[in-house]
Amino acid sequence: MKNFLASRRGIIFVGGVIGILAAFLQKLGNPGNMGICVACFERDIAGGLGLHRAPIVQYVRPEIIGLVLGAFIAAYLFKEFKPRSGSAPLVRFILGAFAMIGALVFLGCPWRALLRLAGGDGNAILGLLGLTVGVWIGTIFLKNGYTLGRTQKTYKAAGFVFPLLMVGLLVAVLLNPQVEGAEKSGILFYSLEGPGSMHAPLIISLLFAIVIGFLAQRSRFCTMGAVRDLILFKHTHLFSGVVSLVVAAFITNIIFKQFNPGFSGQPVAHTMHLWNFAGMVLAGLAFALAGGCPGRQLFLAGEGDGDAAIFALGMIIGAAFAHNFGLASSTAGATPAGMVATVIGLIVCMLIGLTMREKVV
Amino acid sequence: MSKIIDARGLSCPQPVMLTINELENTTETQLEILVDTDTAKENVTRAITSQGWQVAKIETLDDEYKIVIKK
């Protein structure tokens, strides 16, 4: 059967759906220009589980659970569920952790960078420029033979582990629901103020994310791949999906009066241009070296890719470190520790890119 | 017997890079590419058509695909 969603029209459709649903989620309660942000929401999950204790970013976001489960359902239905792993998992974990640190210096993953742009946040331009430069550096490594090696087929059960982990998180949320005015409910932490306290109703977040996960798995939607394929092959396929996301979110934001152009006073954002840029250079490079943006990694994990799952876990742990060590930015700006961590991350990613390659013949 | 490019187990964008490198350097008019995910299959087919090649056939072998392409 021809896969419509993998066609040009398909990817434009999927980008549009993500843009519209994300703007809707913001309207329904998610934080500003954060209808969906894979990095921010994994960070909130780290907080909800108590891996870090930053009080304003604690919530087990059902969106992340839904994205993985939606992709899992799509992969399973269309016989694309192919459990595999073994392509330098530890390196992918480290890439995930530093990708998260870079994203939290900027304050968002590529999806949120696009949503911030569509909401009028000019600082997103610096982030997207940084992302492009980071991915561009990654393509240089790729051209010089960089590879993390081949994956191996593995047991079917191994492919179920990450989706089941998400089911476990969902069960934890259902058994420990938010209690009005309480910071803790059973084993989970909740935010009483700040972005972690702002969220759409659980069931809507979950359903929207399942839809997005399903569509994105079928269409291979990837923001990093969009930039990479444009630089590497001048292919505009994935890029057209990204453009569609921005346009759709922009129009929906106009309708909901969520479009506020400017640089200062933007929601969950800061105006330190250099660090908005540098944070995303680090994130973009890490995504390029790992072969996918944070969203794409979740969809791959849903179709049984254990290495992508390790990357996602690396991001969650990276988020815990980012808040425990004061590396994450706030609306006041990047922190000195965050700046140091960004530079260290860039050095680590460069070393990975330089040292892990096969000779080009 | 046409030359075989083995891109199994490789993640994006390496199957496409391997294929395009080969297309740019080869004198052959037929090649076979082995991939093991649908994403790689779609990406490779899209890439080779933009290079002026055509898909002759795609064989499904177990969990893998053999893409036969012609100039």
What the block records as the tokens of A244 is: 């569609």
What is this structure's pTM? 0.96
Q: What number of CA atoms fall less than 13 Å from residue A141's CA on the CB side?
A: 26
Residue A356 region by backbone torsions, left for phi larger than 0, else alpha for psi between -120 and 50, else beta: beta
| Paired residues of B68 in beta bridges | B32, B57
Contacts of B50 in chain A (CB under 8 A): 233, 235
Contacts of B37 in chain A (CB under 8 A): 80, 82
DSSP-derived letter for residue A356 is S
Instruction: Tell me the per-residue pLDDT of A13-56, one tens digit each, with 9 for 90 and over.
Output: 999 999 999 999 999 999 999 999 999 999 999 999 999 999 99
Q: What is chain A's Cα-based Rg?
A: 19
CB pair distance less than 8 Å for A82 and B10: no
CB pair distance less than 8 Å for A237 and B46: yes
Cα–Cα distance for residue pair A83/B54, rounded to 1 Å = 30
Residues in chain B whose Cβ is within 8 Å of chain A: 8-14, 16-17, 20, 36-39, 42-43, 46-47, 50, 63
Contacts of A225 in chain B (CB under 8 A): 12-13
CA distances (Å), origin A230, targets A56, A65, A298: 38, 30, 22
Task: Give SS3 for A11.
Answer: helix
Cα–Cα distance for residue pair A250/A116, rounded to 1 Å = 9
Cβ atoms of A109 and A103 closer than 8 Å: yes
Residue A274's nearest CA partner among A113, A136, A126 is A126
DSSP-derived letter for residue A87 is S
DSSP β-ladder status, B3-6 and B30-35:
parallel
| Paired residues of B34 in beta bridges | B6, B66
Q: Can you give the pLDDT of all 361 residues of chain A as single tens digits?
A: 578 999 999 999 999 999 999 999 999 999 999 999 999 999 999 999 999 999 999 999 999 999 999 999 999 999 999 999 999 999 999 999 999 999 999 999 999 999 999 999 999 999 999 999 999 999 999 999 999 999 999 999 999 999 999 999 999 999 999 999 999 999 999 999 999 999 999 999 999 999 999 999 999 999 999 999 999 999 999 999 999 999 999 999 999 999 999 999 999 999 999 999 999 999 999 999 999 999 999 999 999 999 999 999 999 999 999 999 999 999 999 999 999 999 999 999 999 999 999 865 4
